[in-house]
Amino acid sequence: MAIVVSLSIAEDDRKAPFDVSRVNALIADAKLSSKAEQFKRLFEDFQASKAVDDVKSDPMTMMLMKAELAAAEKRIMEKIEAEMKKRDEKLDQILRLLENMSH
- Interval 67-88: pLDDT, tens: 888 999 999 999 999 999 999 9
How many residues in the chain?
103
User: Quick one: pLDDT at residue 1?
Assistant: 47
With a cut of 50, say whether residue 19 has pLDDT above it.
yes
Output the pTM of the full model: 0.41
User: Quick one: pLDDT at residue 42?
Assistant: 81
The mean pLDDT value for 97-101 works out to 92
Among 10, 37, 11, residue whose Cα is nearest residue 24 = 37
- Interval 33-69: pLDDT, tens: 888 788 878 877 776 766 656 666 777 877 888 888 8
CB 32 within 8 A of CB 40: yes
User: Quick one: pLDDT at residue 98?
Assistant: 93
Query: What is the distance, to the nearest Å, from the Cα of residue 18 to the centroid of all Cα atoms in its chain?
Result: 20
Where are the chain's structural domains? 1-57, 59-103
